[in-house]
Amino acid sequence: QVQLQESGPGLLKPSETLSLTCTVSGGSIRSYHWTWIRQPPGKGLEWIGYIYYSGSTNYNPSLKSRVTISIDTSKKQFSLKLTSVTAADTAVYYCATEDGEGGLNIWGQGTMVTVSS
Amino acid sequence: DIQMTQSPSSLSASVGDRVTITCRASQTISTYFNWYQQKPGKAPKLLIYGASSLQSGVPSRFSGSGTGTDFTLTIRSLQPEDFATYYCQQSYSTPRTFGQGTKVEIK
């Protein structure tokens, strides 16, 4: 069974770049859409984007100018970079898998990222 | 973007109650539709995919229905562990979008 674990800095200053990594264990990275989602404190879920193992990506247009998702199949990791962060980017960031049916069936535990001066 | 609108935003119910949550998409999405349950401090959990298919391991008291633009999640007999926030999501097109959530609280 695939398991996911997010890692990365929990505190950033405005204008810095958010960098998170999701490590995949227990299964192949050569399947699924590897997805990033975020949830601001007390609010709902926002889809950031996904990457396939081939490297093809799809981003939320609301973040597209600032987002890059990449994958390293040899390390079984995929990563999120979000540039020029502001307080509005403060959220719990989740990595997840989207299976062939379209559901996000496996989630990491989430990592809180706070943007504050 | 496809907008997903859930109702109600919150509800109070008792153990044993039948609970229904609805979600409407701003355009037709066939059955590319999913339901999630989220408990405080935890990641969301997939309950229903393809509008009506029960994810493995999810109790059978949960069921989903609908196609096109209107969808329903039903909890047949609410259990203490079901008090949580529920989200709908469309997987018809990108960007994937979620409903605003329905918080199910104890009456």
| CA contacts within 13 A on the Cβ side of B40 | 5
- What pLDDT digit, counting tens, does each position of A62-112 carry? 999 999 999 999 999 999 999 999 999 999 999 999 988 889 999 999 999
**Average model confidence (pLDDT) across chain A:** 96
Please indicate if any CB of chain B lies within 8 Å of the CB of A100: no
Cβ contact (<8 Å) for B50 and A62? no
Q: pLDDT over 70 for what percent of chain A?
A: 100
Report which of B101, B54, B99, B59 is spatially closest to residue B76, judged by C-alpha positions: B59
- What pLDDT digit, counting tens, does each position of B39-84 carry? 999 999 999 999 999 999 999 999 999 999 999 999 999 999 999 9
Cβ contact (<8 Å) for A44 and B101? yes
Q: How far apart are CA A90 and CA A10, in angstroms?
A: 10
- What pLDDT digit, counting tens, does each position of A65-76 carry? 999 999 999 999
pLDDT at A31: 81
Nearest C-alpha in B relative to A42: B40
Report which of B107, B93, B83, B102 is spatially closest to residue B35, judged by C-alpha positions: B102
